[in-house]
Structure 1
Amino acid sequence: MISNNNPENITDNSTFVNPPKSSFNFRDEILKYVKKWYWFLLSVIVFGTLAYLHVRYTIPQYNVSGTILISQEESVSESELSAFKDLGLLDDSKNKIENEIQIIKSRTLLTNVVNNLKLNVQYFTKGRVVESENYPKSLIEINFLSADSIVHTKSKDFRVLINSQTSFSFVDKEGQKLSDHSFGKTINTSIGDVVITPNVDGIESNKGKVIHIKITPVNIVAQSYRNKLSVITIGKGSSIVKLSLNDPVKEKAKDIINDLVEEYNKSTIENKKLTSARTAGFINERLDLISGDLSEVDDEAAGYKSKFGLTNDVSAQTQRVADIDSRNLQEINRYETQLRKIESTRRFVLSQDGKYDILPSTLGFDDPSITSTVARYNGLISQRKRLLKSSSEQNPVVVNIDEQIGSLRQGLIASLNGAKNSINISLNSLRTQDKYFSGQLYNAPLRQKELTAIGREQGIKEQLYLYLLQKREEAEITSHITLSNARVIDKASTLGSYPVSPNKKMIYFGAIFFGFALPFLIIYLLDLFNTKVNSREDLERSLSMPILGAIPKTKSKKSKIVVSRNSRSSIAEAFRILRTNLGFLMAGTNKKTGKVIFVTSTISGEGKTLVSSNLAKTLAISGKKVAYLGTDFRDPKFHNFFELQKGKDTPGFTNFIMNLDIKPEDVVYEQGENDPLFVIPSGVIPPNPAELLMNDRVKEMFEYLGDNYDYIVVDTAPVSLVTDTLLIGHFADLSIYIVRENYSDKRILQVPENFYREKRLPNMAVLLNAAGDKVGYGYGYGYGAKD
C-alpha cells in the first residue's frame, strides 16, 4: 500500500499518507531484538556452558575467620622506651590498632606460620576432575636432610606412585615411571637428599595411587597467604579485629589463622621482654652516670658553704645578720648621743659664764659616778646661792663652798673626759662591726643566687636519680609479668558448609546476564553503526514523498525477468501490487496512452534496471502495450536482461539520436511471444551522453513512443552521479525513485527528499528494493509459493 503525507498527492479515496514521523518507536525497537531471538538463545547456551565448566572445574574456596581483642594499653610497649611514656616521648595515637594489624599481616609472622605448619610442602591426590590437597595428613611424608636455609628456597614437584608397602616410584605427569625407590631410604634430588616415608599404617590398601608432592619457596607461600589474608576492625574505633582467609582446605585455613594469632602473641611477648631488658640496661647506665653527677654537685655545694660560712638556710642566716646589724646601729646611735651629752656638759662646766650655774640633771649619763658628781655639784651650787643671799663671797663658808665646787668641777671634767674616751672606744668598735655586717648584707643576694643555682642543679640530679630508680623497679616488674597483646574471642571457624568461591548463583546469574547482554550489545552496535536503509520504516522516517511499496529480494540467478503471467512468487506479487499502486499515483494524468514512467536512483547498483524491466513486463502482462526505453548511456545493462541480436552493441537510442537516417521503429525490438514487451536499448556508449540527451531527437523519440504505446518505462541514469536524468525529467508523468535495502546509505536519502521538495522530478514516489522477508509477502492465499 502506498503512503503519502503530502496533500498534493491525495488523488482519490485511496489516499496514502505516511505515518507520523517518530524518533523512537518502542515496538519497533523490541521487534528488532525479538527477531534475533536465536542469537540470545545461542548466547545464553554458550555462557551457561562456560559457567558450568567454570563451576565444575574450579577448586572451591571456603572462608574461615576468627576474632581477637587487641589490648591498646599494652601495645604502647612496642617502643624501647615504653617505661618513659609519661614523658611524652611516645606517640600514643589512635593509629596503634592499624599498626598492630600491619604487624599481624607482616611477612615475618606469616613466614613463621608457613614454617610451623610446613605449608611450603603440599600433598595432592588426583580426583575425577582436579587434584585435591591432603591436609593435615597425607599417605606419605617427605623429609629433608638438607638445611632449611637451602630447602626453603627451592621449588620442586614429585609424583609418587605407591607400588607396595615398602616401595614406590617417581612418575611424570603422564604417569610414566622415572625411577623406583624404597620407603625410608635416602634419595638424592635436585633440592638435596630426601627421605619419603609412609604416613599411615594401611599403605598397602592405597597401592596404585599417585601422590603429587609440591614444594614451593617459603617466601612465595608466605606472600601468597599475606595477599589472601584479610585483617579488619569490627566497628569504628573498636579494638576487636577480625581475621579471615579463603582457602580450598578449611582445616588448613583454621590452622593458619590460629597459628598466626599465636605467633603474634609470641612476638609481642618477646618484644616486651626485649624492651624491658633494654629499658633496664638503659636505666642502669643512666643511674651510674647521674650518681656521679649528683656526688659532684653535693661536693660543690658543701665547698661553697664552707668557703663563705653559709648554713643550709641562707635566708635565715642573712636575716640574723640583718638583725645584728640593726642592733649595732642602735648602739652606735646611743653612744653618739651619750658622746654629745658629755661634750655639751663638759663645755658648760669649762665655761666661765656658767661657772656657778646648776648643771642639767636630766641628761641621763650611763656612768653613775658622773650622775652622782653632777648631783653633788648642783647641791653645792644651790647652797652657795642661798648663802650669798645673806652674806658675801668673802664669807668663809662661801669660800669653802667655792673651793669644794672647784674641786668637784675638776673631778667632773676628768670623769667626763674618761667617759668620752670609753665611749669613743666602744663607738669605734661598733662602727667596725657595722662595716662587716653591711658587707655581708650587700653580698647576700649574690651568695643566695649562686647557692640557689647549685641547689637547683642538685635537686634536678636528685629527682632524676629517684625517677630512674622508680622506673628501674617498674621495668623489673614488667619483665616478670608480661601479657600478650591479643586475646582470642572466637577461634578460627568456617561461616558455613558451602564454599564462598565459586559463587554458583552469581556465576549463573552473570552467565544469563551476559548471555542476554552480549547479543543485545552486538545488535545495538550493529544498528548504531549501520548507515544502510534496513526497512520501510527508515524511508518513512526520512522521506515525505509517497512510498509505492517494497520489492522482495530475488534469489533467482537464471533469469533477470522474474515476472510471468502464471508466476505466484512473492516478488511477482510485489510487482503486481506495484502496478496497482501506479494507477493511484497516475490517476490525475490526463493521458490515455503514452504514460511515461521514469525509474531512477541515487547511485548505481540499487536495482533500477531490474525494477524497471520487471515493471514493464508486469504492465505488458496486464494487456497494455509497453515500451521499455534505456536512457542510461554511460553504463547500460540491457544486454543482461534481454536477448538482443548484438548484445551490448545492439543499435538503440543513442544510434537514433546520432543518425538522422534511423527511424524510431528501427531501434524498437520485440521481446517475448506471449505478452510481448517492446525494448529500445541504450545503444552504443557515446562520449557525450549529456549533450545527446539535449538533442531534439530525444523529444521525437518520446513523441513516437507516446503515440504508439500505452506505457513507456524509462531506465535512467543515477541522479547523484550525472545530470542525464534531470535533462529529460520533464517527459516523465511519474518518477519512481529506487532505494535498495541494506545497500543504500541513509545519508543519501536527503537527495530524493530535496528533489521531491524542489519538484526537480515530476510526481516522485519511492520504492524499496531487495527488501527482506519482513515485507510480508510470504503468507496466506498461496503467496510466496514456488513457481
Structure 2
Amino acid sequence: MFSNIEKTEDNDALKNAFNTNGKSTTSITGYYIREQIIRYLKKWYWFLLGAVICVSIAFLKIRYTIPQYSVSSTVLISQDDNIGQSELSAFKDLGILDDTRNAIENELQIIKSRRIISNVVDNLKLNVQYFTDGRILEVESYPKAAVEINFLSEDSIVKNRFKHFNVLVNSETSFSLVDKDGNVINEHSFGKTINTSIGDVVITPNVDVIKANIGKIIKIKISPVANTVERYREKISVGIARRGSSIVRISLSDGVKQKATDILNNLVEEYNKFTIGNKKTVSARTADFINNRLDLISGDLSEVDDEAAGYKSKFGLTNNIETQTERVADIDSRNVQEISRLNTKLSLIESMRRFILSQEGRYDLIPSNLGFDDITITNNVGKYNALTLQRKRLLKTSSVQNPVVVNIDEQIDGLRQVLIGSLNSLKSTIKIQLGSLQTQDRYFSGKLYNAPKRQKDLRVIEREQTIKEQLYLYLLQKREEAEITSHITLSNTKVIDKASVLSARLVSPNKKMTYLVALLAGLLIPFVIIYLSDLLNIRVSSKEELEKNTSMPMLGTIPIIKNKAKIVISRTSRSGISEAFRILRTNLDFLMAGNAKKTGKVVFVTSTISGEGKTLISCNLAKTLAISGKKVIFVGTDFRDPKFHEFVKLPNGKETVGFTNYIMTPDLSPEDVILHQETEDPFDILCSGVIPPNPAELLMQDKVKVMFEYLEKNYDYVVVDTAPVSLVTDTLLISALADICIYVVRENYSDKRILEIPENLYQNKRLPNMAVLLNASRNKLGYSYGYGYGK
C-alpha cells in the first residue's frame, strides 16, 4: 500500500495553476518592471535620506565657498602693425602662415606674458593681500584695508618671500602682532619700523576705517611676485570673441569684483604701453639710420660745394650760358636730372644692400620709408621689420631655440634674400636706364665740346653737387617724417568694453546647478546601493526571485513573524500571518484535489538546510487544518535536531517519548507515543522522541510503515516535519509515504545557489508532488490591505 501511494497525474497542470511561468512575455515584462518599481518605492526613506544629506552637503558647500565673480573686457586688436596679412601675405602661398588668426594668437600670448602680468602685479600690489574675518568666511579687503604694510627692504628680498602677519588693531594708534591662535606676540605703534624676516616694514592705518576695526584681526598675506604672476596667468582667460575676427575677450574670475576689474583694465593699459614702446623703437632705429646717412652726405655735399666755388673763383666764371649752346644744354640738362635721380636711387640701393648684407645688422630694423618706387621692396621691408620686431618681443620671454623664434629667423633670412634679389634686380634696371642716359649725355657732351672747357668742367661739378643735394634733402624729409611718427605713435588696441564691476556675474558656486546635482546624487546613490546590494545578494529576496530560479509550483508565502509566539494562528485570529496560513490550507486542498484518498493525507514539510522554518510551518499548518474541523496529527521525523519542543510544551521537553522510542521498543504501540492536546482546536502530536545514534537505519525499519498506516486510518491529515534534504538522507528514505511535499524556502536566508537541490529533486521526482513555500516574506502588500486584514 505505502509503496504505491497515489500521485497527482498532471504535474504540469499544477505548475501552471500555481506558478506565473505561463504568462505571456509582454505580461511578464510589465510585471517585472512594476515589481522593480515597487521594490524601490518600498525603500523610499533611503531616497529621502540620501536627498536630505546631499542637499545639506550642497547647502554647506555653498555657504562656506568663497563666491567667484567673472569680469570681462573686450578689445579690438588692429592687424596693421602685427604679423599678419599686410606684412607676410606674400608668403601665404608658400604655406608659412595659415591665416591672420596666427597674428592675433601671437598677440594673445603677449597679453598673457609674464612681463605684462608682472607689471600689473607690481602696479596693483597683488602679491600683498589683506583679509578680515566675516560672519562665515574670511573676506579680502580691496582696494583699501584697515591697515597697509610698507616695505623698506629691497624689492629682490620682498618679492621672493612668503610671509603672514596677523595684526590685531588695539586702537587708532597701536596694534599687536598675534599668532594664528590669537596670542599676542608683541605690540607696536602705527608708523614705527618693525624688523621682520623679510626686512624692515612699516604698518600704517587707514584713518577712514581704522576706528571701526578696533579689536579685529587683519590678516596680511605676502606671496612671491613670481607665484602671484603664475597664479593670475592661469586665471586670466584670453580668446578671440568670434572666429575670424580681431576682437579679443579677456576675462578673469576672482572673489573680489573690484579687484578683477582693476586687473583687467590695468592689463590692457600695460599691453598698450608695450605696443607703443615697440613702435617707438622702430621709429628711433629709423631716425638713427637716417642721421648717420645725413652725416656722410653732408660731408660729401660740402666738398662738392667747395670744389664748385673754388673752380668758379679760380677762373672767374659766372652762371651765364652762351646762346649757341642753350638748346643743347636744355636737353642735356634734362638728361642730367634724370641721371642724377637714377644715381640717387643707386646710392640708396647700394646703402641698403650693404646694411642688409652686414652681419651686425642681421636682425636690426631696416628703414621703412626711403621711398622706393618698387612697391615689392617697400612691402618686403615692412614685412622684414615686422618679423624683426616680433622676434625681439618673443626673445624677451623665450630663447633663440624656441621653435617660433627659429621659424621667424628662417622667415627673416628668406626675406633678406628676397630683398637682396629685389634690390639687385632694381639696380640692374636702373643701370640699364642710366647707361642709356649716359650714352645720350656723351652725345650731347660732344655737341658741347666746342664750348669752353672750363664751362664743361663746371657742369661736371654741378652735376655731382645736384646729386648730393637731392640725396641730402631727401634724407632730411625722411628724418622729419620719422620724428613726427615717433611723437604721434598710437596703440594698435582699441577698447570696446572696459571691465566693470556692474558687469560682473557670479560663476561659482552655481546654486541651482549645485542643488540639482546634489538632489540627483541623493537619489542616485541610494539607487546604486540598493541595486548593488540586490546584485550581490546571494539570498532569496522575494517570491518573484524564487519563481525565477525554480520550476516547482508556488504554494504561497508566509509573512515574517514579528512576535515571540510560535503558534500564530487561532480560530479568532485575523492577522496577516493567520490569513496566510488559511490561504496555504486552501492551496493545499487545491493541490491535492487529484488525490483519491479521503482521509490520511500525508503532508511532508521539508527544506534544504536547517533554520528555514519547516517546523514553524508544519506545526502552524497542523493548527490551521485542525481549526477547519479536521482530525490532524503532527509527526516529527527530524531525529537528529528536533525543535518541536520549542513550539509546543511537551511533558518531558526534548526527551519526551516519541517516534524513535516506538521504533526501538517492540512493546510500544502507536497509541502509547501519541500525545493529545487539551486546548481549543487541538491536534495530536507524535514527537520525534529521544535522539538515536542511527537515525537513517531507524527510518528504514518496518515499524515506520506500520506507524504511518495507523495514522492514515485514524487521521484526516498527517503533517510530517522532516529533516533537511541537503544534509541527510532521512527524508528521502521515507519520501514514498508522502502524498504531497511542501518545500520551505526562507526569504533573505536561503541561498539562491542551493535552489538547485529542490529543483533536481523536482525534475527527478525524488519527492512526490513537490510545491515550494516562501517563508518569512517581508512583502506587506500580500495580506495587510482590504476587508480588515491585518488588524
- The question of a shared fold, defined as TM-score above 0.5 by the shorter chain, is answered with yes
> Does residue 249 of structure 1 match 2:256?
yes
Query: Whole-Å Cα distance in 2 between the matches of residues 226 and 30 of structure 1?
Result: 52
Against the structure 1 CA distance between its residues 204 and 587, is the aligned structure 2 distance closer, same or farther, given a 3 Å change threshold? Answer: closer
Change (3 A) 1:690 1:151: same
CA drift of 1:746 comes to: 3.5
Contact residue 6 and residue 17 of structure 1 kept, 8 A: no
Alpha-carbon distance in structure 1 between the residues aligned to 2:47 and 2:620: 39
Contact conserved, 1:600 with 1:717, CA < 8 A, in 2?
A: yes
Native 8 Å contact 1:738 1:769 kept in 2: yes
**Structure 2 partner of 1:366:** none
Letter of the structure 2 residue corresponding to residue 713 of structure 1: V
Q: Secondary structure of 1:675's match?
A: coil
Aligned: 1:633 with 2:522: no
- Tell me the CA shift for residue 771 of structure 1: 1.3
Find the counterpart in structure 2 of residue 300 from structure 1: none
Instruction: Report the Cα offset of residue 750 of structure 1.
Output: 4.2
Counterpart in the other structure of 1:665? 671
Amino acid at match of 1:739: V
Please name the residue that 1:9 is paired with.
Answer: 14
Say which SS state the counterpart of residue 669 (structure 1) adopts.
coil
Instruction: Tell me how far apart the structure 1 counterparts of residues 181 and 349 of structure 2 sit (CA, whole Å).
Output: 82
Do residues 158 (structure 1) and 165 (structure 2) align?
yes
Asked whether the 8 Å contact 1:738–1:767 carries over to 2, the reply is yes
Instruction: Find 2:59's aligned residue among 32, 52, 56.
Output: 52
Cα drift, residue 680 of structure 1: 2.4
1:246 CA drift (Å): 0.5
2:136 is the counterpart of 1:129: yes
> Could you tell me how far apart the structure 2 residues matched to 1:654 and 1:87 are?
107
Cα pair 1:550 1:775 within 8 Å, conserved:
no
- What is the rounded CA distance, in whole Å, between the counterparts of 1:279 and 1:89 in structure 2? 30
After superposition, what is the alpha-carbon deviation per residue over 1:438-487, rounded to whole angstroms, capped at 9, x for unaligned? xxxxxxxxxxxxxxxxxxxx999888238679934657887964654533
Q: Classify 1:616/1:90 alpha carbon distance in 2 versus 1 (closer, same or farther; 3 Å).
A: closer
User: For the residues of structure 2 that align with 1:466 and 1:623, how far apart are their CA atoms?
Assistant: 128
Aligned AA (2:13): E
Give the structure 1 partner of residue 110 of structure 2. Answer: 103
Shift of 1:685: 3.9
Task: Confirm or deny: 8 A CA contact 1:62 1:249 kept in the other structure.
Answer: yes
Q: Determine if the alignment matches structure 1 residue 573 to structure 2 residue 573.
A: no
Residue 143 of structure 1: how far off its partner (Å): 0.5
1:298 corresponds in structure 2 to none
Deviation at 1:68, TM superposition (A): 2.2
1:589 aligns with 2:484: no
Shift of 1:507: 1.4
Q: Could you tell me which residue of structure 2 aligns to residue 293 of structure 1? A: none
Q: Which residue of 2 aligns with 1:265?
A: 272
1:20 is aligned to: 23
> Using a 3 Å threshold, how does the CA distance of structure 1 residues 671 and 148 change in structure 2: closer, same or farther?
farther
Aligned residue number for residue 305 of structure 1: none
Q: 1:515 aligns with which of 514, 517, 522?
A: 522
For residue 58 of structure 1, give the secondary structure of its aligned residue in structure 2.
Answer: coil
Contact map agreement 2:168 2:218 (CA 8 A) in 1: yes
By how many angstroms is 1:129 displaced? 1.7
Q: Which position in structure 1 is the counterpart of 2:366?
A: 471
* Aligned equivalents of 2:286, 2:712: Cα separation in 1: 123
Looking at structure 2, the residues matched to 224 and 574 of structure 1 have their Cα atoms a distance apart, in angstroms, of 72
- In the alignment, is residue 734 of structure 1 matched against residue 740 of structure 2? yes
> 1 CA distance for matches of 2:559 and 2:495?
79
Higher mean displacement: 541-550 or 212-221: 541-550
TM alignment of 1:583-622, pairs within 5 A: 583-622=589-628
1:681 aligns with 2:697: no
Pairs within 5 Å for 1:313-328:
none
In the alignment, structure 1 segments of 5+ residues that lack a partner are 287-457
Q: 2:319 corresponds to which residue?
A: none
Conserved 8 A contact 2:70-2:252: yes
Which secondary structure state, in structure 2, belongs to the residue aligned with residue 48 of structure 1?
A: helix
2:605 maps to a residue whose letter is V
Deviations 1:670-716 (A, max 9, x none): 34444333322333444544443333232122112212222111111
What is the CA deviation profile of residues 171-202 of structure 1, one whole-angstrom value per residue up to 9, with x for unaligned ones? 34454443322111111223221111122346
Shift of 1:542: 4.0
State whether structure 2 residue 721 is matched by structure 1 residue 721: no
C-alpha contact 1:652 1:684 (8 A) present in aligned 2: yes
* Residue matched to 2:196: 189
State the secondary structure of the residue aligned to 1:564. Answer: coil
Candidates 761, 767, 770, aligned match of 1:755: 761
Counterpart-to-counterpart distance in 2, 1:529 and 1:122: 54
- Counterparts of 1:460 and 1:213, CA distance in 2: 64
Kindly tell me: are residues 523 and 179 of structure 1, through their superposed partners in 2, closer, same or farther at Cα, counting changes over 3 Å?
same
Amino acid at match of 2:139: S
Partner of 2:48: 41
Q: Which residue of 1 is the match for residue 311 of structure 2?
A: none
Q: Aligned in 2, Cα 1:257/1:6: closer, same or farther, shift over 3 Å?
A: farther
Deviations 1:60-117 (A, max 9, x none): 111111122334453339xxxx999999999656433333322322333322211111
Call closer, same or farther: CA 1:224–1:565 in 2, change over 3 Å. same
Q: CA deviation at 1:217?
A: 1.9
Deviation at 1:553, TM superposition (A): 0.9
Asked whether 1:526 is paired with 2:526, we answer no
C-alpha contact (below 8 Å) 1:62/1:494 kept by paired residues: no
Task: Give the direction of change, closer, same or farther, for the CA distance of 1:703–1:86 in structure 2 (3 Å limit).
Answer: closer
Q: Distance in 1 between matches of 2:95 and 2:78?
A: 17
- Counterpart CA distance in 2 for 1:164 and 1:565 is 89
Largest Rg, 1 or 2: 1
Partner AA of 2:188 in structure 1: H
2 CA distance for matches of 1:497 and 1:270? 32
**CA 733–193 in structure 1, closer or farther in 2 if over 3 Å, else same:** same
Quote the Cα distance in structure 2 between the aligned partners of 1:90 and 1:754: 79
SS in 1 for 2:260: helix
Quote the Cα distance in structure 2 between the aligned partners of 1:282 and 1:703: 133
Letter in 1 for 2:269: E
Return the alpha-carbon distance in structure 2 between the equivalents of residues 128 and 87 of structure 1. Answer: 61
1:327 matched to which residue of 2?
A: none
Residue 330 of structure 1 is matched in structure 2 by none
How far apart are residue 496 of structure 1 and its match?
3.9
Letter of the 1:120 partner, please give it: N
What is the rounded CA distance, in whole Å, between the counterparts of 1:520 and 1:83 in structure 2? 62
Residue 200 in structure 1 maps to residue 207 in structure 2 = yes
Structure 1 residues 307-345: Cα deviation after superposition (integer angstroms, max 9, x where no partner): xxxxxxxxxxxxxxxxxxxxxxxxxxxxxxxxxxxxxxx
d(CA) in 1 for partners of 2:48, 2:89:
74
Provide, for residues 406-430 of structure 1, a one-character-per-residue CA deviation record: whole Å limited to 9, x for no partner.
Answer: xxxxxxxxxxxxxxxxxxxxxxxxx
TM-score w.r.t. structure 1 length? 0.69
Q: Is the 8 A contact 1:83 1:471 kept in 2?
A: no
Q: 1:162 Cα deviation (Å)?
A: 2.7
Q: Distance in 1 between matches of 2:272 and 2:504?
A: 30
Identity level (%): 61
Residue aligning to 1:535: 542
Cα–Cα, structure 1 residues 10 and 200, in superposed 2: closer, same or farther, change >3 Å?
closer
CA RMSD of aligned residues (A): 3.8
Q: CA deviation at 1:273?
A: 5.6
* Superposition deviation, residue 241 in structure 1: 1.7
Q: Can you give the 5+ residue segments of structure 2 that lack an aligned partner in the other structure? A: 1-9, 294-346, 359-364, 370-384, 386-478
